[in-house]
Amino acid sequence: MPTTAMTPETLGPAIARGGLVLIDFWARWCRPCHLFSPIFAASSDAHPEHVFATVDTDQQQGLARRFGVLSLPTLVVLHDGKIVYSRAGVPRLHELEAIIADLSVAVSPPTPAPLPPAPGR
């Protein structure tokens, strides 16, 4: 799934969709942000079950403040509207994939154990 530009108006519907919401906070002038962009895009293509969005912090300063973004790039991951991960820096693709895998397991509802067979059957 391609990434979309996140705004205050699109945040609520993204959260309501369910699953993880991964947000890349970036700025046009930020060199490390340009290094992270293709990594984020590749991960987005591999995980259509999650929402991948970008926030241009120069245009959306309110969202950057809301999520406590102080350094760029910063990856914030939400589940049910709550921050479950936030870190500045440029993770490699395999590191981002590990983050997504770990968080997917952590936020998935537990699989119920199968019921034992009924007596006499």
Hey, which residues are catalytic here? 30, 33
Q: 21 near 86, Cβ under 8 Å?
A: no
- Whole-angstrom CA distances from 54 to 9, 63, 112 are 14, 11, 35
Between helix 93-107 and helix 31-46 the angle, nearest 10°, is: 50
Look at residues 42, 40, 49 and name the one whose alpha carbon lies nearest to residue 19: 49
Sign of CA dihedral 35, 37, 40, 42: negative
With vertex at residue 92, the alpha carbon angle to CA 91 and CA 94, rounded to the nearest 5 degrees, is 115
